[in-house]
Amino acid sequence: MKTLAIIVGVAVIAIAALASMFVVDTTEYAVVTRFGRPLRSYTTPGLRFRVPLVDQVARIDARLLMTEPPVSEYLTLDKKNVVARAFLTWRVEDPLRYLQTVVLREAAESRLAAVTGSEIGAAFGSVPFEALVSTEPDKMRLGAIMDQVEGRVRETAAREYGIRLVAFRIERLAFPQQNEASVFQRMRAERQRIAKQFRSEGEEASLKIRAEADRERARILSEAERKAAEIRGQAEAEAARIYADALGADPDFYRFVRTLEAYDKIIDKDTTIVLPADSPLMRGLMTGPGGGR
């Protein structure tokens, strides 16, 4: 009986000791509350103690958390509708304040989402559409806009909810569903313009190459003709010089020979020659031997 009393006593003490101990994990914070009133908070991991039955332990996720506010539509300064999908990464910084103001993560997320939505609205509303989407680096300010929203939300989150906003980022930009058709229409028109430009460029380049080829051909041929004429001219000149050298030695005899050659060429079968009977050729025939002059 005595032994049983000892065993029961040890058991009670052990249970009480176990009930007063709790572990704070590295992934969480713990706040000890007594009848709902926060007593103290633990932000580092380890074995902690409380008064059993009286003290409650509230555990709060200490990790980096991600929240996706609902996707919504915003209006830029130049009245263009843009759909933005954003996300936030955040941690609880002050567990006591967090516990007092938001209690549950869902509540924290919906409040962060609300603040973020209105900050995005304000930021987008103060810039033209080109600041969000532009190929010109000096107009593009998406990074700066994200930083601006991040700064504002961070301030509110820290002050109101004990939350440290790590980052705000825009994950996606899009046009509203009802604008899509007109965007596609515009894209199509732009493509048609580019296609037309390519085709006329092709035609232009082709004509140019062909014209150049034709011109080059004409140049090559006329140069060849010039060269040929030059060669012929030189040959004629050279030939003339040769004739002149040879014939110049006896001009009278040349005249005689050349005249005979000319007769040979001029007179054909249709030519009629009238020979006087006393011509040197005929005289011999007509008058017989010895009659010649």
Partner 1 sequence: MRGRVAQVLALLRRPAGGAALAVMLLLAYGATGFYTVPATSLAVTRIFGTIVDASVPPGVHWWWPRPLGQVDRVEVTRTFLMPVGYFLQEEIQRRPSPAAESAWLTGDTNILQLRARVNYRIADAAKFLFDAEAPPEILRWVAGSALTEAASALPVDGLLTSGRLALIERVRARAQELLDGWGVGLQILTVNLESVDPPFSVVTAFQDVQNARADRERQMSEAETYSNGLLPVARGEAERKVNEALTFANRRLDRAHADAERFTQLAAEHRRSPALLERRLYLETAERVLPRVRRYVLDPGGDGALPIRIVE
Tell whether residue 160 is a contact of partner 1 (CB under 8 A). Answer: no
Tell whether residue 256 is a contact of partner 1 (CB under 8 A). Answer: yes
Tell whether residue 205 is a contact of partner 1 (CB under 8 A). Answer: yes
Tell whether residue 175 is a contact of partner 1 (CB under 8 A). Answer: yes
In whole angstroms, the minimum distance from the beta carbon of 162 to partner 1 comes to 18
In whole angstroms, the minimum distance from the beta carbon of 34 to partner 1 comes to 22
Tell whether residue 40 is a contact of partner 1 (CB under 8 A). Answer: no
Q: What radius of gyration do the chain's Cα atoms show?
A: 57
Tell whether residue 16 is a contact of partner 1 (CB under 8 A). Answer: no
**Cβ atoms of 93 and 105 closer than 8 Å:** no
Contacting residue, 10, 77, 151, 250, with partner 1 by CB under 8 A: 250
Tell whether residue 227 is a contact of partner 1 (CB under 8 A). Answer: yes
Tell whether residue 264 is a contact of partner 1 (CB under 8 A). Answer: yes
Tell whether residue 268 is a contact of partner 1 (CB under 8 A). Answer: yes
Contacting residue, 14, 15, 144, 221, with partner 1 by CB under 8 A: 221
Phi then psi for residue 163, to 5 deg, are -105, 135
Nearer to partner 1, 36 or 288 (CB): 288
Comparing CA positions, the residue from 73, 231, 65, 230 lying closest to residue 157 is 65
Alpha carbons 201 and 121: distance in angstroms, whole number: 45
Tokens 């074995």 correspond to 47
- The tokens describing 179, both together, are 């604008």
Residue type, 200: S
Per CB under 8 A, contacts with partner 1 among 99-128 are none
- The tokens describing 29, both together, are 């914070």
Contacting residue, 34, 40, 232, 255, with partner 1 by CB under 8 A: 232
Q: Report the alpha-carbon angle 111-33-41, nearest 5.
A: 75
Tokens 């103690």 correspond to 49
Q: How many Cβ atoms sit within 10 Å of the Cβ of residue 175?
A: 17
Tell whether residue 142 is a contact of partner 1 (CB under 8 A). Answer: yes
Nearer to partner 1, 24 or 108 (CB): 24
Tell whether residue 196 is a contact of partner 1 (CB under 8 A). Answer: yes
Tokens 């700066």 correspond to 144
